[in-house]
């Protein structure tokens, strides 16, 4: 599952939305997720994700741009970096990216 897109905001910043497989070692390993990033431009948005360990993240085209609801969600989040499963479950809300990348403690079952 690789799709994504972006939307330019009136202030010149962009919101990038990507559909990815969850990173290994995260709490949702292998489950498709939708990630939203707000940044000054597309390259900085991708750099933010790569700096978090999502190295193979690319945006090719604009096939799945963020919806108005997704744009609102990322605008009102202080970090501007969110995720949720794709497709979303009935009552699932957006989560901070730190929750996705959190690794379980060693020895936990």
Domain contains 60? yes
Instruction: Report the number of distinct structural domains present in the chain.
Output: 1
Closest to 34 measured CA to CA, from 105, 106, 103, 97: 97
pLDDT tens digits for the chain (109 residues)?
Answer: 468 999 999 999 999 999 887 665 556 556 788 899 999 999 999 999 888 887 778 888 899 999 999 999 999 988 899 988 877 777 778 888 877 766 544 444 4
Domain contains 35? yes
Domain contains 106? no
Cis preceding linkage at 87, omega within 30: yes
pTM reported for the whole predicted model:
0.81
Q: What share of the chain is helix, strand, coil (3-state, %, to 5)?
A: 20, 25, 50
Tell me which residue range forms the domain holding 52: 3-101
Domain contains 108? no
Domain contains 74? yes
């Amino acid at each position: 599952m690789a799709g994504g897109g972006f939307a330019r905001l009136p202030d010149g910043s962009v919101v990038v939305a990507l559909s990815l497989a969850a990173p290994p070692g995260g709490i949702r390993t292998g489950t498709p997720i939708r990630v939203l990033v707000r940044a000054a431009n597309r390259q900085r948005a991708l750099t933010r994700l790569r700096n978090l360990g999502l190295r193979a993240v690319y945006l090719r085209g604009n096939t799945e741009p963020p919806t108005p609801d997704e744009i609102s969600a990322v605008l009102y989040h202080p970090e501007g970096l969110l995720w949720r499963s794709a497709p979303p479950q009935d009552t699932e809300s957006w989560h901070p990216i730190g929750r996705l990348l959190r690794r379980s403690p060693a020895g936990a079952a």
